[in-house]
A and B are shown apart, each in its own frame.
Chain A
Amino acid sequence: MTKFTRRDFVKAVGAASALPLLGASAQAAEPFKVGFIFLGPVGDYGWTWAHDKGRREMEAALGGAVKTTYVENVKEDASAIPILRDLARQGNKLIFATSFGYMDQVLEVAKEFPDVKFEHCTGFKRAANVSTYNSRFHEGRAVTGTIAGKVSKSGVIGYLGSFKIPEVVMGVNAFTLAAQAVNPKIQTKLVMIDSWFDPAKETAATETLANLGCDVIATHTDSPAPLQFCQKKGIFGFGQGADMSKFAPKAHLTAIEDIWGPHYTARVKAAIAGTWKSEDFWDGIKEGAVKVSAYNASLAKDAQDAANKVIEGYKAGSYDVFTGPIYDQSGALKVKEGQKMGLGDLATIDWYVKGIQSA
């Protein structure tokens, strides 16, 4: 007979009240439940697709030890709150919120469920039970920017963005700085379409950039539609989130692939083992979280070499695209010669570098 404290009682009642929900699965070896909220549909073949691929890899790696639930098409507004709450009430002990716009909603729900662990992707606010995780996508953007700088004949390159948030701002900055490093005359035209996923508007925006003289266009939205337009128009682009070469075999120069599986597997393992702590993860090319796809066979050797140099530099820690001198659009010096921007500054960056034309 063991001692039965009040705390145990509370736990037992809590467990009993959870039983009807769990139903038949409430066995001794109950799997650890993990929830995900996704911004787009898992079939977007971009951002959400990559997260879902990570989820499936994690599930495969941990076998029967986990049970995952996901909710797709969750808007980045207050409607995310009841969805997060529901996931927590359904017994998910670790919940991944996979877009920037869920930041405050996650913190709010995390306060209500101190026993549930949350991980918020691309944000910068943490709590005892809220971690943040991000990828150094901008390293991939530095690689694609290098290629764009080499490939562009007009000297004008395009960047199709979604919203003015730090992830996109640092993306277009890295892309432009890297392109300018190989061709100082490069100008970048930036269009934000106020959406992550809208193939028709993405296509129209790409068309607009092409009409304004851009001959290489990078996308920071989620569908392969812009690449298909580049293919039709005979200009070049890059895959976003996944290798999209089959959508545009000629136009697709390379892609930045988001690899989330290892992070999800490690964090779920830590949560099961009880070693999960609130942390800020920011992995990149070196850790394998950001991968650059195979180059298009048509890409010239010197462009490939320049891109490889950037990749090797990131692996060795000897290269950083955000190394001064860096000027903003007005020409003011923001980062002094030889200095590097820290990840903390990047996480909240809201200014564009010189050479970007934005509205």
Chain B
Amino acid sequence: MTMTFIIDALVTVIGITTPILLAASGELVVEKSGVINLGVEGMMLVGTIAGFAVTFETGNPWLGILVATLAGAAAATIFAVLVLSLGANQVATGLALTIFGIGLSSLIGSNYVGIAIDPLESPFPDALANDSFWRVIFGHSPFVYFAILLVLAIGWFINKTRAGLVLRAVGENDLSAHSIGYPVIAIRYAAVAFGGAIAGIAGADFSMVISPLWAEQMTAGRGWIALALVVFAGWRAGRLLAGAYFFGVLMALELYAKASGHAIFPSQFWAAMPYLIAVIVLALISSRDGKDGKAPACLGKPFIPNG
């Protein structure tokens, strides 16, 4: 195995991991606040088409990312109004948001089928970005760096800041947080909108970097993997980062094993592997029953203040 080969493989891993890591980071904040939004796939798709359409129409990818962010947040806000203000069931509303996102993105996207844009390239100088070694660090799209910085920032925010403590309090015991005087609903609105914004960015990664085109449902279920990843990581940012890259390495291993003719396992086994491992990890987490890896206590429950 040569150095080039390892670097090539790492580049593949980083590329496929990034959108999952992004979407999962956003959802982590949402779930920490005690809300579960199953509409990640839908919000991603809204971001996918928004990013593509705006980039194509204006020629400005940064504007595309901005609009994708806002579109994801807007889709999440619809969800927030339904579940936080109107008390709708979170699971059902999240599923409806996915269906809505698929439909809306397909509708808007029908004008953009068969068009390609230039991919968003590395922000670093070509000498570094295209260097046969340094490209492993400098050769990625801005999404890659943003995703890693974001998940680290989220970990710091949740564990080290006062605002993060309030967020956790709202997710663990909304009634107590309310009685101390924290605006539970407003905090959850903010968390849900943040999660949507990040899902929108994750979606834009698909249509602006990974395959710079629009095709219906091009996220192909990554939103669901992101949701699983949050659970897999036990609601912890550090494990989320490791878990996302673990999924990415597994997928790349599968492709390399197949392409080099040494499958080791049948291809169906490779396809099932992430789910198998997720089940094993979940079983381990629940059997330990410790402090780590537990879901926020108020996850998925509506907030009904007494009195």
Contacts and interface: CB of A to CB of B under 8 A. Distances in A.
Determine if chain A interacts with chain B. yes
Contacts of B260: 189, 212, 357, 359
Interface stretch (A190-198, A316-324, A331-339): A190-198
Given A203-B211, A358-B261, A359-B258, A41 B267 contact: no
Nearest to B270: A194
Interface in B239-266: 251-252, 255-263
B15 A207 contact: yes
A204 B16 contact: yes
A55 B211 CA distance: 28
A113 to B, nearest CB: 29
A251 to B, nearest CB: 11
B251 A201 contact: yes
Given A191-B255, A359-B261, A359-B267, A202 B211 contact: yes
A164 B219 CA distance: 23
Contacts of B116: 224, 228, 246-248
Chain B residues touching A, majority SS = helix
B211 A192 contact: no
A45 B206 contact: no
Contacts of B217: 40-41, 73, 197
B271 interface: yes
6 contacts: A43-B110, A45-B114, A45-B215, A203-B210, A207-B12, A211-B8
Interface residues of B, number: 44
A199 B110 CA distance: 17
Contacts of A42: 216
Contacts of A194: 267-268, 271
A199 B9 contact: no
B139 to A, nearest CB: 11
B220 A199 contact: yes
B213 A208 contact: no
Given A189-B261, A195-B220, A225 B213 contact: yes
Contacts of B12: 204, 207-208, 211
Interface in B21-39: none
B285 interface: no
A225 B110 CA distance: 18
Given A192-B267, A204-B12, A357 B261 contact: yes
A358 to B, nearest CB: 6
A223 interface: yes
Nearest to B6: A211
A232 interface: yes
Contacts of B255: 191, 193, 201, 204-205, 208
B291 to A, nearest CB: 35
